[in-house]
Structure 1
Amino acid sequence: MRDNIEPDDVRLVGGGSRCAGGVEWYDQGEWRIVGADDWDQRDVAAVVCRQLGCGSTVSVLTGNTTRGKNIICSGSEPSLRDCYRMYDLLPGLTVICSDLLVQPDIFLTDPMGGVFRGHQGPEMFRGYNFTITCSTQPQYPGGSFLLTFTGSNRTQTQPAVNHSAAFLFPAADDSHQGNYRCVYDNYVFSHNFSSESELLSLTITGN
């Protein structure tokens, strides 16, 4: 017996991400394609993106030649099950949501052993070199990583190679203390998408 728990009764398939693809919903023991009238497509897409926790709608289109159950939403419903289901069949919807890219990871490494774990996060001895690496799960080829630093207005950008990028800092000093964040940017489905990592707070210590 399948548990009828949101958002497990809705999915986007064929888009390379859980937040993009053809809309399907689980009904009466099987996955069924979702269709909508032209005037109702964006409302249905808004509900799907919200239910999946995928942000807002970036794009919605009917490119699926397979026809699906007509769904009518106002756009404010928390899930598709709260929308109307009609008997007629319409071309299946393809939806792209704003939270397309998974959250990238950020981590710090040092070949000289100059970093240690402090109470507030990693601490680095002055004069030691260190590397901050940004990485993401393989979803789409290409893209780039922007490393932002709150201690100043400095930013660095590198292309994503094998879904990661390494930023080398030759000698730690007080100017490197602050919060770092990786921002992954990629151009997919004719739109620019970005996703931010958690903050990495670095403290510089020692003589």
Structure 2
Amino acid sequence: MNKKLTTRAVIPFAVLGLAACGNDRSPEVEPFPPPVGTTATTTTQLPPRATEMVIGQPNTLTLSNGVELMFTVDSLVPLTGADCTGAAFDGPPDKQFLRVDLTVRTGETVPADYTSIFSPFLWKVRGDDGVVIDEAAMEEDASYCLSVEEDGADLDTWETNSIYNASFVVPQQGPAGTVILKPSDYVSTDRFELRY
């Protein structure tokens, strides 16, 4: 028998024997099927719980750049389309609405202008029947319900250490529900909810 052939034949068998005796801790080796009792799981991060708003109680909204704004919902008043005073309002007179009156206070640092923090179009309404109205100010001409004078500050431009008063209207979904403020994620990850 040729010695070269014998050596070549023995080496593969030796390698196979070592592989069979070794452990499977090599990073490339993944047992299949998975051992009994193990399951693949994925984790998802749930959004933080919303902060409950209370009429007349100050809230702190933290922006993504660290700027904080204090705001208070001063009142939440039910009204109908017939109560709307805006010249451009053309919604149904029997529609049930909610008027939200806000006070916003700035400190030593302020957000950039036109960051749409408290825009009426960022508020949602979720009725206890489960129906959600996104961009609630768009629904049934709600954004036109109040006169320009009643709207108050536009909350688009900011000065340090200042107080702003503004009002807007959203539709009421059912006899009970929640009014929700959720700014765009790039502005803030905070979320606030107010029961009606």
Q: In proportion to residue count, which structure has more helix?
A: 2
Q: In proportion to residue count, which structure has more strand?
A: 1
TM over 0.5: no
In terms of Rg, which structure is larger? 2
Using CA pairs under 8 Å that are at least 6 residues apart, name the structure with larger relative contact order, 1 or 2: 2
Give the TM-score taking structure 1 as reference length.
0.30
Give the TM-score taking structure 2 as reference length.
0.31
